[in-house]
Structures are given as structure tokens and as C-alpha cells.
Amino acid sequence: MHETPHRNTETKITAAAPAGMFGPFLRAPEASRDIFRVIFVAACGPAVAGVVFFGWRALVICALSVLGCVATESLYYRVTRTPALLGRSHAALTGLLLALTLPPFVPWYVPLAAAVFAILVGKALFGGVGHFLWQPALVGRLAATVLFAPPLLARPLLDRPAWPVLAQNRILLGDVTRVDRSARYRGWRGTVARSPADAVARPRPRAFLRQLSLPGAKPPDSIATVLRHMPPAWDLICGAHGGGIGETSTIVIIVAGLYLACRNYVHAYLPGMIILAAAVTVAVAPVRSADGQAWQWLPVAAEGLDVGFVYVAYHLTCGELMLAAFFLATEMTSRPVTLPAQVVFGAICGAGAILLRLYLAFPIPAYAAVLMANTLTPLLDSAVRPRVLGRRRWQRTTDTKHQA
Amino acid sequence: MSAMRLRRFGTFAGGIVLPDSKDATLGAPIVPIGPLTRLRVPLAPTEAEPARPLVEPGQAVSHGQRIAQASDARQVDVFAPLAGRVAGIGECLLPGPEGTWRSSPAIELVELDSVGRIEELSCHYTWQSADEYSIRLRIAEGGVCTCRPPVSALGGWIERALAASVETLIADITENTPFVTADHRLLAERGSEVIRGLAILARAVGARNVMLAVDHRRTGAYRAAVGPARLYGIEPIALPHKYPIGAEAMIVKVLTRREIPPGGTAMDVGVAVTDAATCWLTYRWVACGEPPTARVVTLSGPALHRPGNYLVPFGAEIEELLALAGLDAQAWGVCGPAMSGQLATAGAVTGPGGNAVLGLHPQQAGPPTQCIRCGWCSENCPARLNVAALNDDFELNRPTQAARRGVLACVGCGICSYLCPARLPLSRRVALLKRAIRQGQSRSRDARDAAQKH
Ligand code: SF4
Ligand code: SF4
């Protein structure tokens, strides 16, 4: 009655298993579906922030992505006749997370195509929840990056890719594709879009920071000069800068993530470790100094700690790192199960995200780092384990003392 | 200020706080169970060879009469729990290891007297001045069993403790599973007897440190009883109420900082663990000469109408107890604590090891789905096992891999099943893995022994 394993269960362990009902006869009330539903609700926080700053197009993309995932999953189950074990809640969650990573101005077919990839390649091919290796939403996002040319994923403005955000007088209802190209930018709050435009476009803040380290770019005079070009910190914290729908609003992401941590759906160590590792990497990893040749290690201390800390804080808040730390890396199936392994996993994600951002012109560095770390998950789970009660720390062998 | 000064101790990694759910019986005094129609007194309270009956069918027996004689040192003598008439020799079921039922021959008694209150007996054996050897002899004569599962003869238990040169004796009265209050009531009402029983056991096993571990939330109820504990060199200790602190491995770790090797017992690290019921029965037998025939059983749970702490003679049928306590139709009768007990079946009776019979409403949970890797099972496992990986080992039939992960360290607490959002029966699967490993080991040991003979 209790035994309906979905995989082949060999008979040896269960042979002559004692019949009867076993304890515990009490159960904690939370079921798998509830978990996915609660995470979905939490992920609605960044989505709402995205709708506020990017307008109705963000809402349409979220809806398309969620519907695309749910429909693909239903169709897959219909065709393969696999019973849908966890309902559609996980597919809907995947769809929403995927939408959060997409820019708000992509055409309608981008979220749909990404959703199909996310569910089919990311999830169903591996056997569904509990078995996939890579976070499916990120598989979808990676597919979108590969399939669609840059104009769809970043608008060219003058000679550089630029990212629009609704101006202060157009939030919620404006159309993010009608960009005012001439507006002088004095921080989001100081900028008003002129009719008929609704949005102002700017390079993503991390593009400035990349000038410090990417080969080929003209190196700026100093870190302080770069920081002078950055939007005000308040814009980065509340989300009024260009980026994916759910990536920009740091404060909303943190609040929603802490809610998940309180419900125990996310272990606070994992996002904490990602952010810590990212901060340490930013503080240490070398940038090019003014003469353009020598590499300057320890940029946090290069021009005084006040500049250094602002530099680190900008790095942490200016891109997709926060969303990856709180919502994408914490996906249950693709992260390690035990806590020590999760800490190592978080360190790899955080450091990888910053290194990819600094030294490779890769469009989605934090997501790529999470995918890389996902690949290592099975290894981490078997290599980094908690110490079993009564064993020495690195004891691996079968226990020799068995009988009383 | 208070007579009971308590040392407080730390805690352990993993574990959860369970709902207490003891309100119904926490303050209920121990009362005798209502009239019973039939007893099936097990002839094999421990797993060894059954005792040899000394009575014939049709014979009348009196309360406390020796009705069966142990033929094996690991078995105990059996005494008539109530006056009555022998109807014949039958069968009964007792809880066995890992949720099995163990069948035992049983003497059926009918036309029973009603169960009496606990008598106030005077002490007529000066155990304080007796030497250890004669205390051990006296214990071995009586039919006392250890009441903590696995049930074994107390004489044999003491011998094993002596062989392991046990230094520390712990009486675990934390009882932090939901509903169960049998040991709590025993210590609150008959505390001086329990304390003296513990002192007797400490003399018998030669333990230098004797600890009485109680739940920190209930120390108030034990004050009067436990005050004299220090006279006997017993140290009362209040422990936190995180479940499963009462598990042998946990309480040994918290109180002595020693860890039991996976698959071992507390005696492997020089510690013996006992409970209130064992101490009480020991005192009554050694000091007062009353043979062990009954124990306190908590009848409780949301599906029982008359919950309480009852004095129940050994061999009472679980079904009859549930009927006396008013079990709802459609509800489940559970033998043992709610986290690790098993569903009552026809023919099951109470024995020395059963501290609770619960009536619970059936779970509404659906069938198990696949593991979503939430990690709650491993995060809260007090043995620090990666239970999700063990579940994979079970599904892929890899007991050797599971043994390498240390599955034998599992304390059987049931937390993994309790928490699993996919409703997987994890603790049962872990128990089956342990069983498969033990069987494999005993098979290979047999093969090795056979090879050495040739
Ligand atoms: S594996 Fe054993 S010790 Fe760990 S939670 Fe499950 S039942 Fe408890
Ligand atoms: S609690 Fe259940 S669903 Fe969660 S990791 Fe453990 S086995 Fe998997």
C-alpha cells in the first residue's frame, strides 16, 4: 500500500519484507506541490517589479512563458503517456523563472521557444523533477541566447547594445520598446521621457564595469571614473535599470528569497555563499590599471576602501547575480542535497559568475556559472558529505562493527 | 530553592521539534485498566526460546503465581498477571524489530479478576547493604525484562553491561514522542520507587556515573520524587525537547560526548541506557518481591474517547484495550509511539516493551511521488545520513552502496518519512536496507565459519 516506487525496484531488498503498516503515523503537512506553489508565489515578487519598471510587455512575456511551459509539459505527458506525478505546478514555476531571465522587449516567439526547450530538453528528457541535471529555466534561457541574434535580446542604440527601462512618468503602463534616444540621463528619477517615447535606454551597468577588465576595450583611467558613469545606487537596488524582467530589483529579490529561506525551501547558506564568493572574487580579481597594461590585483583596496566597497556593491547588484543566487541556483533538483555540498556549490556559482562576467564577453555570466555548477552537482553530492554519526570524518569504508 | 537542581546539557545536530499532543494524558493519574475478558500471556517476552509452562489447562492460578519457567538464560520466567483460570496454550503477537510482528506461544487466561491499583509495598530486602553479586542473582531470578526495545532479560542485560565494563548508566525519561506519557506519570507518581530501582541497577552493573535524563519542560512534576536522587549518587539532568533526543545514540552523545559506531549499541562505548518502567519493575521485584506482571501503558490519540495512563497486565489484547478506550470506527490502532510504532493487528498483545497504544485518524496523504531533492530528510536526520541518496540506493537495489554511506547509523526515528514532501516511506526503506545488510553479513559470516570448519 505504501510501496509504489516509480522506478524499477528490485526484489532483493524487499523480498520477505515484513508486511503491515509502518510508522510514522504522523506526517508534516507540506507536500511537493505546495513547495512549488509557494516558490511560484515568491517569484511573482520580482515579476511584479518587472511589470512596474518594464510595463505590460513584461506581463505578456511572463504569461507566454508560463503557458508555454505548462502546455509543453501537458503535451509531453499526453504523447508519452507518463502519468503527471507533480501536476503542472513545477512547469508553471519553470515558466515564470524563465520569463524573469528574459529581456522585456523580446518578440512573442522568444519566450515560447525557450519554454519548449526548457521543458523538453531541460526537464522531460531527464525524467522530470528529481532527475534533471540542469535547472530547466536556465536551459531555456541558454537556448534563447544561442538561437536568437543579439537584436532580439539587446537593442542596439548608436553603436552599443542598450537596455530600455520605462521612464518615471510611464511606469506600469508604458511600452518599453518606444525608446527616447535623446533624453539626457540624470539617474532614473531625474529623467523624463518625452512623448511619444515611453522608455529611456542605457547600457547595462555591468557593461561599464566590464571596461575595467575585458581585453579589447579601452581601459578607463580609474575605477572611480567608471563608478561616476554608473546609475545611482538607489536605481540598482529598487530595479530602475536595464536588464531581464526579474533581474533588476535587488530589494524585491532579497525579500522574496528571505521568505523562501524562512519557509525552509531555500537554505540561507546557499544564496549567502554565492553572494559571499562573488564579493570576494570581485574584491580580489585583477582589473586593468590606467596605463592599460599592468593588471591591478585586489581592486577593492587599489583606490581606497571607500571606492572599493562601492565597486563591489555595484558588481553584486548590477546584473542577474541576485536572481541566480536566490531563485535559480536554489532549484532543488539541480543543487546538491546536503548542506556542506551546497556551500561548495554556492562558492563555485558565485566565483564563476564574476569570473565569466569580468573576463569573457558572455551575455549571461551568472546563469552560465549556475549551469556549470549544476553539472558538478552529482560529484559534489558524493564528495562532500556530512559526517555520519559515529564515523570518523573521512571514513569511507563499510562499517566493520555490526553486531551488538 | 528547589529540591531538584538540574544540570543542563547541549543538543545534537539534526532532529526536529514535534507537536507535543500530550494534554489529554499528561495530568491523568495511573489507573487500572477496566475489566478484561481474556489474557494471552506471552511465553517468550524476549526473542529467545519460549519459557516452559508450569500450569495445565483448566487449572486456577493466583495473581503473581509462576506459570512458566525459562529454559534459557536469555529468557525470563512468566508470572500470572491476574488471578484466573488457564484456558489453554495459544499464540500471540508481539512487536519485533523493524516493525515486524513476532509470534510467541501464550498461556490463555480467562475468568479473570479485575486489575487492582498499584499496591503500596514495603521494602523487605535490604539492597543497600547487599553486595552486588547477590543483587544480580536476585534480579536474575525474577522475570524482569528491559522495557526499552529490544526487549531482553534484565539478567542478561546486566551481564552484557559488565562484560562491556559500563561506566555510565542513563535512565532516559525524556519521552519526547507525541502522546506518550507512561514514563512521565511513573516518575511523577512513583518517583521514589523508580529512583531506587535505578540505584539498584547502578549497583548491579557497577556504573560510576548514573544520570536521570528528563524533559526540561516537565521538571516541575518530578521535584518531590527526584529530590532524593542525589542520596543515591544519581544526577538529574534536564534535556531539551528536540526529537529524537531519547534515541540511544542521541542521548549517549549528548550526555557523554561519545558516538556509537554505526550498527553498534550504547554498550560498545561503555554506556547503558534504561527507562523508568524497567527501574520501577526492578525495584518492585528486588526490594518488595513483587513479580513483574503489568506496566503503565498510555492509551491516547485523537481517535480515542477515553485516553489515559493505565496499568495494563502483560498479555492484554490490543484490540480489547482499544475497545475499552473507545476507538472511533475507521480509525487506526497503533502499537508503540506514533513515529516508530506499527499498526495493531488481530492477536497482538501488550508486553514489557509496549509503552503506548494510540488511536489515530488515517492519513489523508496521497501515494508517494518521486523525490524532489528538497534535502529536508538529510538536513534533519539525526544520524546525518543522506537519506535521499539512500532512497536511490533502495530503488536501484544497492545495499552495499548504502552500507558504505553508513546506513547502519540510522536510529529509526522516522523524521525522514515525517518530513518528506513526496510522501516517500523513507524510514521503512532505510529499515529494509539495514535488514538486507544485516542478513547479508550474517550469511557471509556463516559462509566464513563453514569455510573455516573444512
Ligand atoms: S534515516 Fe534513520 S535516523 Fe535518519 S531520519 Fe530517517 S529514520 Fe531517522
Ligand atoms: S525529503 Fe523526500 S523529497 Fe525531500 S530529498 Fe528527502 S526523499 Fe527527496
What average pLDDT does range B98-123 have in this prediction?
88
What average pLDDT does range A45-70 have in this prediction?
95
Answer yes or no: is B311 within a domain. Answer: no
Give the three-class secondary structure for B352: coil
How high is the pLDDT of residue A19? 54
Q: Is B138 in the same domain as B279?
A: yes
The answer to whether the CB of B128 falls within 8 A of the CB of B276 is no
Residue of the nearest CA to atom 3 in ligand 1? B410
Answer yes or no: is B363 within a domain. Answer: no
Give the torsion through C-alpha atoms of B434, B436, B437, B440, to 10 deg.
160
Q: Is B247 in the same domain as B383?
A: no
Answer yes or no: is B251 within a domain. Answer: yes
CB–CB contact B341 A10 (8 Å): no
Q: Give the number of other Cβ atoms within 10 Å of residue A261's Cβ.
A: 18
CB–CB contact B264 A404 (8 Å): yes
Q: Which residues are CB-neighbours of B447 under 8 A, at least 6 positions away? A: none
> pLDDT-derived band of residue B142, with 50, 70 and 90 as boundaries?
confident
The answer to whether the CB of B375 falls within 8 A of the CB of A267 is yes
Residue A67 in this model has a pLDDT that exceeds 70:
yes
What average pLDDT does range B120-143 have in this prediction?
87
CA dist., res. B143 & res. B152, Å (int): 10
Residue A5 in this model has a pLDDT that exceeds 50:
no
Verify whether ligand 1 is closer than 6 Å to residue B420 (CB atom). Answer: no
Domain count within chain B: 2
Answer yes or no: is B157 within a domain. Answer: yes
CA dist., res. A297 & res. A340, Å (int): 30
Residue B253: CATH number of its domain: 3.40.50.11540
Q: Is B257 in the same domain as B138?
A: yes
Residue A42 in this model has a pLDDT that exceeds 90:
yes
- Nearest-CB residue to A390 (from B261, B417, B423): B261
Q: Is B381 in the same domain as B254?
A: no
CA–CA–CA angle B215, B216, B220 (5° rounding): 100
Query: What b-and-e string marks burial along A57-88, b requiring 16 or more CB atoms within 10 Å of the CB?
Result: bbbebbebbbbbbbbbbeebbeeeeeeebbeb
Q: Which amino acid is at A58?
A: A
CA dist., res. B236 & res. B214, Å (int): 7
Which ligand number lies closest to the CA of residue A265? 2
CB–CB contact B341 A25 (8 Å): yes
CA dist., res. A394 & res. A98, Å (int): 40
- pTM to 2 decimals? 0.89
Q: Is B139 in the same domain as B282?
A: yes
What average pLDDT does range B315-335 have in this prediction?
91
Question: Can you name the residues that pair with B332 across neighbouring β-strands?
Answer: B360
Q: Which residues line ligand 2 (CB under 6 A)?
A: A 337; B 371-377, 387-388, 391, 419-422, 424, 426
Residue to probe by mutation, ligand 1, list B176, B378, B381, B429, most atoms within 8 Å of CB: B381
| Nearest CA distance, B400 vs chain A (angstrom) | 8
Distance (angstroms) between ligand 2 centre and the Cα of A329 equals 18
What average pLDDT does range A65-89 have in this prediction?
85
Verify whether ligand 1 is closer than 6 Å to residue B410 (CB atom). Answer: yes
Which three three-digit cell numbers place residue B320?
Answer: 480489547
Answer yes or no: is B142 within a domain. Answer: yes
Q: Is B272 in the same domain as B403?
A: no
Q: Which residues are CB-neighbours of B159 under 8 A, at least 6 positions away? A: none
| Nearest CA distance, A273 vs chain B (angstrom) | 17
The answer to whether the CB of B157 falls within 8 A of the CB of B146 is yes
Answer yes or no: is B253 within a domain. Answer: yes
Over residues B405-441, the pLDDT tens digits come to 999 999 999 999 999 999 888 998 999 999 888 888 8
Answer yes or no: is B37 within a domain. Answer: no
- Nearest-CB residue to A332 (from B360, B373, B400): B373
Q: Quick one: angle between helices A109-117 and A136-147, nearest 10?
A: 130
The answer to whether the CB of B377 falls within 8 A of the CB of B416 is yes
Over residues B222-263, the pLDDT tens digits come to 987 777 888 899 999 989 889 899 999 999 999 998 899 998
What's the complex ipTM?
Answer: 0.87
* Residues of chain B contacting A87 with CB distance shorter than 8 Å: none
Residue B209 in this model has a pLDDT that exceeds 60:
yes
CA dist., res. B199 & res. B261, Å (int): 28
Give the three-class secondary structure for B239: strand
HSE value, Cβ hemisphere, 13 Å, CA-based, for A399: 25
Q: Give the CA distances from residue A320 to residues A369, B238, B293, in Å, rounded to whole numbers and listed in that order.
A: 11, 50, 70
Kindly report which listed range (A13-17, A125-129, A192-196) carries the lowest average pLDDT score: A13-17
Out of A8-17, A66-75, A140-149, give the one with best mean pLDDT.
Answer: A66-75
For residue A130, the ligand 2 atom closest to its alpha carbon is 8
> pLDDT-derived band of residue B203, with 50, 70 and 90 as boundaries?
very high
Q: Quick one: angle between helices B276-286 and B191-205, nearest 10?
A: 80
Which three three-digit cell numbers place residue B351?
Answer: 508486553
- Nearest-CB residue to B268 (from A32, A391, A401): A401
Q: Is B277 in the same domain as B176?
A: yes
| Nearest CA distance, A293 vs chain B (angstrom) | 48
Range of the domain at B200: 132-286
Q: Which residues are CB-neighbours of B326 under 8 A, at least 6 positions away? A: B304, B305, B306
Which has the higher per-residue pLDDT, A82 or B94? B94
Q: Which residues are CB-neighbours of B67 under 8 A, at least 6 positions away? A: B41, B53, B54, B55, B61, B78, B79, B80, B86, B107
In the block, which residue shows the cell 500471540?
Answer: B92
For residue B378, the ligand 2 atom closest to its alpha carbon is 6
On the question of a cis peptide bond just before residue A24, with omega within 30 degrees of 0, the verdict is yes
Q: Is B279 in the same domain as B398?
A: no
Q: Where are the beta strands (DSSP E) in A241-363?
A: 287-288, 295-296
CA dist., res. B104 & res. B295, Å (int): 19
CA dist., res. B273 & res. B170, Å (int): 5
Verify whether ligand 1 is closer than 6 Å to residue B180 (CB atom). Answer: no
CB–CB contact A399 B334 (8 Å): no
Question: Can you name the residues that pair with A113 across neighbouring β-strands?
Answer: none
How high is the pLDDT of residue A199? 85
CB–CB contact B341 A34 (8 Å): no
In the listed set B261, B286, B311, which residue is the last one of a domain according to the structure? Answer: B286
Q: Give the CA distances from residue A68 to residues A33, A88, A101, A333, in Å, rounded to whole numbers and listed in that order.
A: 19, 12, 15, 21
Report CA B174 to chain centroid distance, whole Å. Answer: 13
CA dist., res. B429 & res. B47, Å (int): 24
The answer to whether the CB of A367 falls within 8 A of the CB of A324 is yes
Q: Which residues are CB-neighbours of B451 under 8 A, at least 6 positions away? A: none
Distance (angstroms) between ligand 1 centre and the Cα of B389 equals 12
In the listed set B286, B317, B341, which residue is the last one of a domain according to the structure? Answer: B286
CA dist., res. A183 & res. A190, Å (int): 11
Helices (H), A106-245: 109-117, 136-147, 150-153, 187-190, 205-210, 223-229, 233-238
In the listed set B266, B286, B306, which residue is the last one of a domain according to the structure? Answer: B286
Contacts 24+ apart (CB under 8 A), A302-308: A302/A223, A303/A222, A303/A223, A303/A224, A307/A223, A307/A224, A307/A227, A308/A223, A308/A283
How high is the pLDDT of residue A219? 72
Q: Which amino acid is at B320?
A: E
Mutation site for B-interface testing, chosen from A398, A400, A401, A403 by largest number of B Cβ within 10 Å: A398
Residue A20 in this model has a pLDDT that exceeds 80:
no
Answer yes or no: is B29 within a domain. Answer: no
* Residues of chain B contacting A129 with CB distance shorter than 8 Å: 370, 372
How high is the pLDDT of residue B125? 83
Over residues B351-384, the pLDDT tens digits come to 998 899 999 988 766 778 889 999 999 999 999 9
